[in-house]
Amino acid sequence: MTVPTLTHFAGGRRLAAHSTRTAPVYDPATGSVAAHLPLADATDARRVIDDAAAAAPAWGQRSASDRAQVLFKFRELCLAHRDEIARLISNEHGKVLADARGELQRGLEVVEFACGIPHLMKGEFSDGVSRGIDMHSLRQPLGVVAAITPFNFPAMVPLWMLGPALATGNCVVLKPSERDPSCPLRLAELWSEAGGPPGTFNVLNGDKEAVDALLTDPLVQAVSFVGSTPIARYVHETAAKHGKRVQAMGGAKNHCVVLPDADLAQVTDALMGAAYGSAGERCMAISVAVVVGDETADALVARLTTRVQALDVGVPTEGNPDMGPIVTGAQRDRIAGYIAAGVTAGATLVVDGRTHPRSAGPGFFLGGTLFDRVTREMSIYQDEIFGPVLCVVRVASADEALALCDTHRYGNGVAIFTRSGGAARDFAHRVRCGMVGINVAIPVPLAFYSFGGWKQSLFADHNQHGMDGVRVYTRVKTVTTRWPEGTSG
Ligand code: NAD
């Protein structure tokens, strides 16, 4: 079978690449190359950015309700093609179909929120700030904005940015991950089909060269980035140096604190989903369980052990497995390397995902891994592994658990499980983290709230979606008005 070569998307259609550099896109369930992805050069970037810039004035001047009509239609088309899009995601990312459908749903919730843009973009008005003088403020689009996204949510994270950016009247150049580009390309086609004018939603495929073109091009007004922390820091610094507005979301190491009064059946269910769902390749995955007291830890580890051993690992589009493969062979090997490092450092390896029968191949599979007695200096505790590995850290008190969460360099999500309202409230108030769950392991804010972490999980002043999504893609203008005094007629 011939392996297809993918394209960019600009001016309302698929655009063959000028560059001859390519990267393989894998089917992680078989390990075979499913497509070749063009990696943009400066000529490709110029063409796509210019198409976006050409479309920006007219799109920005359309009424907000007019733009919302295109978003409504786009949402309908995405829902009509939900199964097709989910398959595109599963085939290149490796997450199971239910997770793929779920991420599309969460992304579309942001589009739904953005459909309310006529209300969301309303400015302020003050009548008579001085004699005969009124004042009002309004929000205007920026022009061309870049959206640079990670592999782990090829529908949801682009839609976090596309919804508010397009609704507020900007044209978007999306630079998706090299690992699963087919879903973003399909979204761009559906946007065109929905009536989105050519040049409003463009896709530039590529690697660092494409990203650097976007970070430095004078026509790009703002950059929204989601990915790992080292790249988020680089994007933030480089885009800011080139005078752009920038928001950059980074990595995570999300802790789940378990107090002795917690309902352990509930905790076990929640941790199985939060640590092993999507093979742990989620920025809100729980990768550390901080358990207060040895008695609670012994009981929880016993419950988790049987569940992790029983995880059904399989081809994501066949049957209904709990977990699919890891996105690439390199990432699978990186995770296996961390498991080896954990053993060397002295952690107790309770379940070893490397020994799962599927791990022998074909495909990039790895079973679930559970470590107990992990300590803070170990690399499996410090680093974001981004795989199906859960570390149990034992502590003596709730204060020690809080201190552990607070001193970790990441501060994306955190959860606490307890029956005590007072303990939960105190924890939620004091913890240095952007998103907190109380008996909820993955506290992802809904579209009408904002998503964002603290510390090295976010380099920006603005979060994603909610009202921050409107603010980050618009500028405020304030108009002071005085008319000649007199009566009408
Ligand atoms: P990544 O940082 O490798 O890639 C993200 C984007 O940056 C991609 O589009 C990629 O092409 C580009 N990129 C990669 N290397 C680059 C370089 N040297 N210079 C310029 N651009 C470069 O991230 P990933 O592996 O695709 O995604 C997983 C990471 O994303 C994890 O760290 C995860 O926690 C994070 N993530 C964070 C959030 C959040 O909201 N905080 C959400 C999802 C994922």
Question: Could you tell me whether strands 389-395 and 369-372 are parallel, antiparallel, or unpaired per DSSP bridges?
Answer: parallel
pLDDT of residue 1: 74
How far is it, in rounded angstroms, from Cα 97 to Cα 403? Answer: 38
pLDDT tens profile 192-215: 999 999 999 999 999 999 999 999
Helix, strand, coil percentages (3-state) for the chain, rounded to 5, are 40, 25, 35
**Mean pLDDT, residues 370-381:** 98
For a ligand 1 pocket test, name from 8, 177, 386 the mutation site with the most ligand atoms within 8 angstroms of its C-beta.
177
pLDDT tens profile 301-324: 999 999 999 999 999 999 999 999
- Ligand 1: residue whose CA is nearest its atom 21: 208
pLDDT-derived band at 461 (thresholds 50, 70, 90) equals confident
| Whether the predicted pLDDT of 375 surpasses 90 | yes
Ligand 1 centroid to 218 CA: how many Å? 23
Residues with Cβ within 8 Å of 371's Cβ and at least 6 positions away in sequence, in order, are 342, 347, 348, 349, 350, 380, 389, 390, 391, 392
For a ligand 1 pocket test, name from 226, 412, 450, 459 the mutation site with the most ligand atoms within 8 angstroms of its C-beta.
226
The proportion of the chain whose per-residue pLDDT surpasses 90, expressed as a percent, equals 98
For a ligand 1 pocket test, name from 89, 99, 106, 151 the mutation site with the most ligand atoms within 8 angstroms of its C-beta.
151
Ligand 1 centroid to 27 CA: how many Å? 20
pLDDT of residue 63: 98
Between the alpha carbon of residue 204 and those of residues 9, 17, 42, 324, the distances in Å are 7, 9, 11, 28
Please say whether the beta carbons of 258 and 266 come within 8 A. Answer: no
pLDDT-derived band at 475 (thresholds 50, 70, 90) equals very high
pLDDT-derived band at 485 (thresholds 50, 70, 90) equals confident
List alpha helices for 324-465, DSSP H. 329-345, 379-382, 398-407, 421-430
Of the candidates 464, 467, 448, the one whose C-alpha atom is nearest the C-alpha of residue 112 is 448
And the tokens for 250? 């980074």
How far is it, in rounded angstroms, from Cα 160 to Cα 89? Answer: 16
Ligand 1 centroid to 482 CA: how many Å? 50
Site residues for ligand 1, CB cut-off 6 Å: 148-153, 157, 175, 177-178, 207-208, 211, 226-228, 231, 234, 249-252, 283, 384, 386, 412, 453, 457
Say which of 115, 183, 283, 433 is annotated catalytic. 283
User: Is 256 tagged catalytic?
Assistant: no
Index of the ligand 1 atom closest to the CA of residue 464: 40
pLDDT-derived band at 180 (thresholds 50, 70, 90) equals very high
pLDDT tens profile 11-22: 999 999 999 999
Ligand 1 centroid to 232 CA: how many Å? 7
Q: Residue 397 CB: number of other CB atoms within 10 A?
A: 11
- What average pLDDT is seen over the chain? 97
pLDDT-derived band at 489 (thresholds 50, 70, 90) equals low
| Whether the predicted pLDDT of 52 surpasses 80 | yes
pLDDT of residue 487: 67
What's the alpha-carbon Rg for the chain, to the nearest Å?
Answer: 24
And the tokens for 343? 């053993």
